A = this chain, B = another copy of it.
Amino acid sequence: MTNVERLEVPHATRAESCSGRELARWIGEARDLVKRSQRRLAAIMAADVVGYSRLMEIDEVGTLAAMKARHRRVLRPLVAAYRGRVFKLTGDCMFVEFASAVEAIVCALDIQAQMADANGGQADHRVIRLRIGINVGDVMVEGRDLYGDGVNIAARLETLAEPGSVCISAAVQDQIARRLPLTFEDLGEKVLKNIARPVRVYRVAAKLADDPLSAEPPRAWALA
């Protein structure tokens, strides 16, 4: 974590007992750092193709063509419909920024539903399924790219998702549970690779709550 990622107190300051004067000095330094860097709150979606290497091994040309078709017919139109912005795209992995956690979640469910539809009747080696992870974070902005724990946690959540499903952090669940009639499976606190703190993870269940309010896990609410 760089000094820009965490607005560190200079070493000399930290060693002293910090008074109001120290705070004032730190505020001045933090103000300068804010000027030089840019951050924003965003909902970050990481989506990854399940068994990409295996699919490529079976039929490289066919898999690439199928992936391109899915991007064109499912992913790109849906990301646009929910005002998302792809900021990183590799062969099998896509990172999308959304201004709203609500829009990110509905987009993810929409993508999974339309991917399942598109898979209907396909041969096994033509079935393309995604794992999706979503996090809300105060991320660092550099040009069109986003950095920081907020992005890394989304990538880790994606690896925890079952094929075809969506995993979210407590920070996302806290923003959407009030507003969407979804049910969530609490997977508990997970230690994620290269993330210092355990993250509480929820799986978005593919069923609606009969009553959105009673469907919210009371424990998660207590932390809101």
- Identify the A interface with B (CB < 8 A): 5-9, 13-15, 17-20, 22-24, 26-27, 30-31, 34-35, 39-43, 81-83, 99-103, 106, 109-110, 113, 136-138, 149, 169-171, 174-176, 178-181, 189, 196-200, 206-213, 221-224
Contact = CB atoms under 8 A, between A and B. Distances in A.
B13 A208 contact: yes
26 contacts: A7-B106, A7-B181, A9-B181, A9-B208, A9-B212, A14-B181, A14-B211, A18-B208, A20-B206, A27-B109, A31-B106, A34-B102, A35-B81, A40-B100, A41-B43, A41-B99, A41-B101, A138-B175, A149-B178, A170-B174, A170-B223, A171-B174, A171-B224, A196-B213, A197-B221, A197-B224
A154 B20 CA distance: 25
B41 A110 contact: no
The oligomer's copy count stands at 2
B102 A138 contact: yes
Nearest to A4: B179
Contact of A136 (B41, B170, B199): B41
A136 to B, nearest CB: 6
Contacts of A208: 9, 13-14, 18, 22-23, 26
Contacts of A149: 178
B189 A222 contact: yes
